[in-house]
Structure 1
Amino acid sequence: MRSKNAQISIAIVSLVLGIMLAIQFKTTASSNDANLPARVEDVAQKLDTVTQERDALAEEVVSLREKLSNVRKNDQAMADLQGELQKSNMMAGLTAVEGPGIILTVNDIPRIMQAGEDPNSYIVHDTDLQTLVNDLKASGAEAISINDQRITAMSEIRCASTLILVNTRRIGPPFVIKATGNPDMLESGMTIKGGWLGIMKQWGYQIQMQKAEKVQIPPYSGAIRLEYSGLPSDKEKAD
């Protein structure tokens, strides 16, 4: 009897428990269904925010790429300007240069003068050096120096008593003329038949010339003065 009552009690408890579980499940499902629109709206808002942030970052990336491109262009333009400035300085003789070329040494005629002879007939003159420099330029010399005095477009080579004035420096023999350029062309140009170097050699001047793989020529070290020249005004440029 007790066993039967226990079975009935268990059945009743199980039934009640089942009913309670069913009610709870239904309540939970109803609650989830009620909250679903709010959750969807929340997710949509978050997605919209993320999308806006992504678009803003994409625009920033494009802007940064444009700025980087402009910087690179400016850097390239600056590098080009620096290169042109360096070339201009080299052409003007304001920077030291190094390269293949020739080294030419010219000295006075080694002869004991006799009474009544003119000593000027045995020494190297400013006109001799100027002619040799012109011949080197015609032979393709890119840079020239005489006793480490750089020859520029403004250089002067002229007599100064018993010495020779190059730029603002007095120099004397032996005169070491250095020139950069194609060594073969320079040598050929200076030894051409009828050239001034050949004539000086015939007269007895001491001449030595050698080709070199590395000729070092210093920069012009004097002051650059322009007293009467200047850049034209904008109006003069327009005219």
Structure 2
Amino acid sequence: MNKRELMKIKMKKKLKVKGNHVIFSLVFLVLGYIIAFSYHVTKSEGENTAITGKQWDRDLELRNQLVDLEKKNLTLQKELHEKQEQVREIENELSQEAQVYFNLAEDAEKLRMYLGKIDVKGQGVEVTLSDGAYNPDEENINNYIVHEQHVFKVINELYISGASAIAINGQRLTHNSYILCNGPVIEIDGYQHPAPFVISAIGDAEVLSSALNLTGGVKDSLVNENIQFTLEEKAEVIMEPLLQAS
């Protein structure tokens, strides 16, 4: 074998060795890349897992806080409901008290009215009793003069018919008023009044008027006794407070 052939053989061996080195280099390079990539992926997954764990802990904490807030909210709602019920009870008591006070004030006003402490007004009637026309043939002058019994007839009929208040010549009567005849005048609770006598009454005007105008009733009786009788229905009758006798 000559030198040239030997050199060719040596060149082939060297080329073969270099080719093997290149292949191994590529293999190790790929292997290193795979190992590096795996390490990076593993590290990233570990970091992601750690972050997810922190988030989970945070979410759990927030969830627990939310549960606590819901419990507190429920407690506050119950307290609010209880307070509202207490307010309703107080309002109901106040309304009842207000109604009681209103009723008391109304009753007091009615009592003042019945006692004659305040003015009263309402529909009613007005009856006027006057002495009869003078008759020279009549020997007894008392036969055509208005006496207390004539006034009593009208007053009693008015009370029976539902009159709530009565006055004579503007003077209110009470449950214990007295009327006396003193010559040409009548005395009411110590105050004298001359004829004609105007008897005012508060009540249902139609009822009072019908009661006085009954056939054979008060009006006919007084007319037969020579008393001049006039009756007028009033839309409004006003009476002043009672007088206090000195």
- TM-score, normalised to structure 2, is 0.69
The whole-number CA distance in structure 1 between the counterparts of 2:209 and 2:70 is 81
Instruction: Provide structure 2 residue ranges, at least 5 long, that are not aligned to the other structure.
Output: 1-32
Moved more, 188-197 or 144-153: 188-197
Mean Cα deviation higher: 43-52 or 55-64: 43-52
1:148 paired residue number: 170
1:62-92 Cα offsets, whole Å, 9 max, x none, are: 1111111222222223333333344444444
- Separation of aligned partners in 1, 2:162 and 2:54: 97
Superposed, which structure 2 residues align to 1:65-80 within 5 Å? 65-80=88-103
Structure 1 alignment gaps of length 5 or more: 1-10, 225-239
Output the amino acid matched with 1:69. N
Q: Distance in 1 between matches of 2:238 and 2:171?
A: 8
Contact 2:130 2:227 (C-alpha < 8 Å) held by counterparts: yes
Indicate yes or no: 2:180 matched with 1:173.
no
Structure-2 residue corresponding to 1:197: 219
Corresponding position of 1:106 = 129
RMSD: 3.5
Q: Work out the percentage of aligned pairs sharing the same amino acid.
A: 23
Determine the structure 2 residue equivalent to 1:123: 145
Query: 1:233 aligns to what?
Result: none
Q: Deviations over 1:128-168 (max 9, x none)?
A: 21222112223333322111112221222123454222234
Whether contact under 8 Å (1:96, 1:216) holds in the other structure is no
Does structure 2 retain, via aligned residues, the 8 Å contact 1:155–1:166? yes
Aligned CA distance change for structure 1 residues 42 and 140 (closer, same or farther; 3 Å) = closer
CA contact (8 A) 2:143 2:225 kept: no
Q: Which has the larger radius of gyration?
A: 2
Could you say if the C-alpha distance between residues 149 and 31 of structure 1 is closer, same or farther in structure 2, counting changes exceeding 3 Å? same
Give the equivalent residue in structure 1 for 2:50: 27
- Counterparts of 1:41 and 1:122, CA distance in 2: 107
Q: Which has the higher helix share?
A: 2
The 5-angstrom pairing of residues 202-213 of structure 1 reads: 202-212=224-234
Mark the CA change 1:54 to 1:138 in structure 2 (over 3 Å): closer, same or farther: closer
- Relative to structure 1, the CA distance from residue 102 to residue 52 in structure 2 (aligned partners, 3 Å threshold; closer, same or farther) is same
Q: Note if 1:221 corresponds to 2:238.
A: no
Aligned to 1:230: none
CA drift at 1:93 = 4.2
Query: Does structure 1 retain, via aligned residues, the 8 Å contact 2:124–2:237?
Result: no
1:17/1:148 CA distance change after superposition, 3 Å = farther
Secondary structure at 1:110's aligned position in 2?
coil
Alignment of 1:159-170 (within 5 A): 159-160=181-182, 162-170=184-192
Going from structure 1 to structure 2, the CA distance change for 1:172 and 1:20 (only over 3 Å counts) comes to farther
Aligned partners of 2:139, 2:85: CA distance in 1, in Å? 86
| Alignment partners' CA distance in 1, 2:115 and 2:102 | 20
Aligned counterpart, 1:52: 75
